Amino acid sequence: MSTLTKPSTVLPEYIITLDETISFARKNFKSLSYIDKAIDIITNIGIEKRHLVLPIELISRHSGFGYRNTVFNIEAKKLIPKAIEEALQNADLSSKEINAIIYVSCTGFSMPSLTAWMINHFNFPRDTVQIPIAQMGCAAGGTAINRAQDFIAAHPGSNVLIVSCEFCSLSYQPTDTSISSLLIDGLFGDAVTAAVVTSENTSSGLKFTSNSSYLVPDSESWISYDIEDTGFHFRLDKRVPGAMLSLAPIMENFAKTQEWEIDKLDFYIIHAGGPRILENIAKTINVPLDKFKYSFETLMNCGNISSSVVLDTYRRMCEDITSEKNKRGIIAGFGPGVTTEMNLVTTC
């Protein structure tokens, strides 16, 4: 049986607060007739601050996709090492004991994958399996956790390092003035997270019970990128929050496979795509909204950090309480497709 150990989170140094976001929007988009509406929605999301890899003044000067992708790779190599070092320390493992690296990101590109750089930089074993995942978006945190469980099931005794690197701010498009684009600009933030899934016996962590994936029918255009000369233009359909309503029976049936009741779990590690998503899920699975407190804490303090959300949410849970053993919970990530990646877990 495999276990998810305490994750690490590394945030870039530049911070933009809600007030600064609003001031920036009023200054740069004051001629738009719907700017007040967009600002009202951004304000109601409840994000207090977000972290950025560059100051907002530089991000708002679009210097081309190539420049931004170069920034992505430079900043990733600055922040990833600290996240990996802390994740290995949390798992009480050395780099020599890692057998596979699952690296997820939807906000930058390189070939070879940054997994090759990680192996060289940390002197991981030469036969470390590289598993880069680039197109699962916000769901990729859950995807990485599930694929780590599957890898250990196929390779007993192994340990898997997960690294999520998401610099969503580098997809900011200053000439894209649709209301949906403005809302996205006020929602997403930057972060690097890492965690180890181990086959070793541990005194703390989340033991995996079962994992599952589900694709909402005919929803592949609801969360997507338009890839243009200026880079990634993120598109989010207004139907996405409502799609969460259809996932309630999926989560319920998944819990039943282990004879668990979805509304009776002890904790919920849920992707914080936005407050409406969390509210709709809580309502449809019939649990109090405060059960999602760690997801809300990630959203308020970091914004939507894409695939890093579920790992940061679990980190906050680890740091807030000393969990009793054998408490039951679920990890659920949501992203393009619309896809959900779920895992039933117990504390150890």
Residue 348 a catalytic site member: no
Q: Which runs of E-coded beta strand occur in 137-258? A: 159-167, 190-198, 206-215, 223-228, 231-236
Query: At residue 64, does pLDDT exceed 90?
Result: no
* Closest CA relative to residue 252, chosen from 339, 334, 327, 344: 344
For residues 270 and 223, membership in a common domain is answered with: yes
Rounded Cα gap, residues 223 and 231, in angstroms: 16
Q: How far is CA 85 from CA 4, 141, 260, in A?
A: 16, 19, 36
For residues 104 and 212, membership in a common domain is answered with: no
| Mean pLDDT value across residues 281-309 | 94
For residues 223 and 314, membership in a common domain is answered with: yes
Residues 299-329 pLDDT 10s: 999 999 999 999 999 999 999 876 688 899 9
For residues 146 and 169, membership in a common domain is answered with: yes
For residues 51 and 167, membership in a common domain is answered with: yes
For residues 280 and 159, membership in a common domain is answered with: no
* Rg (alpha carbons) of the chain, rounded to whole number: 19
- Please report the sign of the dihedral spanned by the C-alpha atoms of residue 242, residue 246, residue 252, residue 257: negative
For residues 161 and 299, membership in a common domain is answered with: no
Among 198, 227, 260, give the residue marking a domain's end: 198
Q: What is the CATH number of the domain that holds 304?
A: 3.40.47.10
Q: Which of 106, 138, 165, 168 is the catalytic position? A: 138
Query: At residue 6, does pLDDT exceed 80?
Result: yes
For residues 55 and 165, membership in a common domain is answered with: yes
Residues 214-260 pLDDT 10s: 999 888 888 787 788 777 877 777 787 777 788 888 999 999 999 99
For residues 169 and 215, membership in a common domain is answered with: no
For residues 130 and 239, membership in a common domain is answered with: no
- The residues, ordered by sequence, that sit 6+ positions from 200 with a Cβ below 8 Å of its Cβ are 3, 91, 93, 159
**Residue located via tokens 């780590």:** 148
In this predicted model, which residue has the larger pLDDT, 135 or 82?
A: 82
Q: Structure pTM?
A: 0.94
**Structure confidence at residue 59 (pLDDT):** 83
For residues 238 and 184, membership in a common domain is answered with: no
* Closest CA relative to residue 232, chosen from 36, 92, 72, 13: 72
**Structure confidence at residue 16 (pLDDT):** 95
- Count: domains in the chain: 2
Among 177, 198, 219, give the residue marking a domain's end: 198
**Structure confidence at residue 210 (pLDDT):** 95
One-character DSSP codes across 59-119: HTS---HHHHHHHHHHHHHHHHHHHHHHHHHHHT--GGG--EEEEE-SS---SS-HHHHHH
Among 198, 228, 262, give the residue marking a domain's end: 198
For residues 94 and 222, membership in a common domain is answered with: no
Domain interval for residue 276: 206-347
